[in-house]
Structure 1
């Protein structure tokens, strides 16, 4: 059943109405991830596309902002894309990371500090297929948005004592 749900979500991800619904489900997803320590998400169970909870500081407000995001692993780092469901504008969290390249991520109930690096050129091209394996609809969002989607590598910050 879980595999069927995951398959359906990935297939539906390409459709405009699904992207519109996804924007409205974000607050629910944030709560569900937090309450279940990452075991559940609106996108399904652990077999669904991997989801992390990114916390950034608002570039204007200074307030903490949480956003569930799909991710791909790249070594010990996490790669995320600012698709904004294919809208013409970049998502706010990506502008927050451009202003302050630091935040935290919560994956499977574990919270880790990260340093964000905006990927460009060949490095961006290298990770794009990793993201498409996680969520093939990113290709549609890229075409629909009319902009270059921001891709970030979130590198865990190691404390001096470790």
Structure 2
């Protein structure tokens, strides 16, 4: 995406209107396109890299599929997930699921990968948060709108 286009998308995605609308529209579109393309295309990945996270529901025990933006790390075996919830008040449900049951899977570029999730804390979280803000600056606007600390998870592929 051209630099001007990226800046425009970042500006729009930082707005409160986007935060109200996007949680209802973006995941539904992502799930539909992902299913129709047999896991090859994730619509929101045109803006940011993305995965489909399949985590086990903390209460239900059922598989829960959630399309999410991610920050792939250079090693090719780890991904950072940001529990921003588009700057809305509560933590997103998928973060509760990973805290309760960290074994999960992701669909990444058409491949299903078994992963283990780990909540980042302390200095490690601070360093990753700086990298996340450099990667996608609108996360700063999301954090400013909420009193909770946005959760960051590192997903590591199973050996």
Contact 2:89 2:146 in 1 (8 A): yes
CA apart distance, 1:5? 4.7
What is the CA–CA distance in structure 2 between the aligned matches of 1:117 and 1:33, rounded to whole Å? 26
- Correspondence 1:70 to 2:69: yes
Runs of 4+ in 1 over 6 A off after TM superposition: none
What is the CA–CA distance in structure 2 between the aligned matches of 1:35 and 1:7, rounded to whole Å? 29
Within-5 A mapping of 1:1-162: 2-3=1-2, 5-25=5-25, 26-36=27-37, 37-41=39-43, 43=44, 45=46, 48-74=47-73, 75=75, 76-158=77-159
What is the CA–CA distance in structure 1 between the aligned matches of 2:5 and 2:31, rounded to whole Å? 19
CA apart distance, 1:7? 4.0
What is the CA–CA distance in structure 2 between the aligned matches of 1:71 and 1:11, rounded to whole Å? 19
What is the CA–CA distance in structure 2 between the aligned matches of 1:145 and 1:34, rounded to whole Å? 33
Query: Where does the alignment leave 5 or more consecutive residues of structure 1 unmatched?
Result: none
Contact 1:51 1:71 in 2 (8 A): yes
Q: Kindly provide the CA deviation profile for residues 14-66 of structure 1, in whole angstroms up to 9, marking residues without a partner as x.
A: 1011111111111222222333324341x363xx2111111101111111111
Distance 1:135 1:33, change over 3 A: farther
Residues 100-109 or 127-136, more deviating: 127-136
Residues 109-118 or 8-17, more deviating: 8-17
What is the CA–CA distance in structure 2 between the aligned matches of 1:44 and 1:104, rounded to whole Å? 18
CA apart distance, 1:133? 2.9
What is the CA–CA distance in structure 2 between the aligned matches of 1:130 and 1:51, rounded to whole Å? 17
CA apart distance, 1:73? 2.1
* RMSD value, Cα: 1.6
What is the CA–CA distance in structure 2 between the aligned matches of 1:148 and 1:78, rounded to whole Å? 19
What is the CA–CA distance in structure 2 between the aligned matches of 1:13 and 1:56, rounded to whole Å? 26
CA apart distance, 1:101? 0.8
